[in-house]
Structure 1
Amino acid sequence: MDKYDYFVNDVLKVVNWFKIRNFSDMKDDRNVEPLSQMKVMKLLYYVQGVSLAVYGKKMFPDNLVAWKYGPVVEKVYDIYRGQYAIVDPFADGMPSEEIADYIDLSNDTTVVSVLEAVQDNYGGMSAIDLMNKTHKELPWLETSQSGTISNDLIKDYFEKEVVNG
């Protein structure tokens, strides 16, 4: 049993928030690249870390796993397996369910403060830059390959290095 409560009951709602944000950003700026599976995985890691460090609660219930290319949420990987971009910049719009998730999370001031902070601080980085960054951080370094990254380790690291650092 995990000792940490969480804000959002489905990690896919958080993914959808980033997808809608990315789609909107691409419409405003042609230089914005489509959100990739790898990048959203790293953003989820930072969301979980900031949420644990600032609020003592996980953003979503899923564990992060230390894979070769950095932290991964296996449920998200399974859904987007084999895809590079998970947002189509040429689409006429986004699915209504994804928009509803974006609106729902945006209406929660605590949740959106974490999502916006992560987007503002890490959203401009490439997936490769984020991967390289996670590979230098203790939660990934101290977890065996394919092992679950401890929420206590994430919380402690983010409290020291990200929030108070």
Structure 2
Amino acid sequence: MTKSQPYTQADLAKLGNVLIYLVDRLGPISKTKALKLIYLVQEVSVKTYGLPFFNMPFLVWRLGPVAEDVFVDLSAEEPVLLANYIQRQEEDCKTFIHASQPFSDDEFSDNEMEILALVAKTYGSLSAERLVEVIHRPHSLWYQTARENGVLDYLEQGRMTTTNFEIDFGRLLDDMPERKRMYTGQLDYLEQSRALKV
């Protein structure tokens, strides 16, 4: 999805309910932790099933990867995109995410529910700082994309905080050509169906 495309109600319901699911299992989570867990849901989904969980880009930022629109919404005084799903509260100079309604699994397949459970179990006990370390390992998509675009040192040294370089999750499937074709086909389908729904 490019930045100029609006989210559908289904996109927002899915994203909002992912946050509700995570908060229900882990308790209130910091904004940074929420952003990292959303990224990990996408990465684990692509690795496991060859399918994107979300239809949104993730950019290489210093503490990224970050879905920029989600970052903006979670940083606002009151969420706009996710207003029906979450509330944010400031505690000890940090922003924490709380659910504002019960979780609904209407937007999720059985496989997607497995992905959510796996991410919550595997990464839920890690701090936001530790999640950033995990996502920034040398073999990670964040690290590879930052290095290939000449911004790794700037990001690591804190001399740059954001970029417009998008994470290509298809790289996770480079050694699985059939799954990569399925992934690419699903991205095309999501773009076409979005045009019909908006």
TM-score greater than 0.5 by the shorter chain? yes
Shift of 1:86: 3.5
Q: Distance in 1 between matches of 2:73 and 2:174?
A: 30
Q: Distance in 2 between matches of 1:71 and 1:154?
A: 15
Contact 1:11 1:61 in 2 (8 A): no
Q: Which residue of 1 aligns with 2:122?
A: 121
- Percent identity between matched residues is 26
Shift of 1:150: 0.9
2:132 maps to amino acid:
M
| Root mean square deviation of aligned Cα | 2.8
Q: Which residue of 1 aligns with 2:144?
A: 142
Q: Which residue of 2 aligns with 1:85?
A: 95
Please state if 1:71 is matched with 2:65.
yes
Q: Distance in 2 between matches of 1:45 and 1:60?
A: 9
Query: Bigger shift: 10-19 or 139-148?
Result: 10-19
Shift of 1:142: 1.4
Shift of 1:67: 0.3
Please state if 1:95 is matched with 2:97.
no
Q: Which residue of 2 aligns with 1:17?
A: 18
Aligned length: 136
Q: Which residues of structure 2 form unaligned runs of 5+?
A: 3-8, 77-87, 89-93, 152-162, 176-198
Contact 1:63 1:148 in 2 (8 A): yes
CA gap of 1:154–1:15, structure 2 versus 1, over 3 A, is farther
Q: Which residues of structure 1 form unaligned runs of 5+?
A: 3-7, 27-33, 89-93, 158-165
For residues 94-116 of structure 1, the C-alpha deviation after alignment (integer angstroms, 9 at most, x for no partner) is 433xx25x3324x6311100011
Q: Which residue of 1 aligns with 2:187?
A: none
Contact 1:12 1:76 in 2 (8 A): no
Shift of 1:122: 0.3
Per the normalisation by structure 1, the TM-score is: 0.69
Larger Rg: 2
Shift of 1:16: 3.2
CA gap of 1:57–1:16, structure 2 versus 1, over 3 A, is same
Query: Bigger shift: 14-23 or 140-149?
Result: 14-23
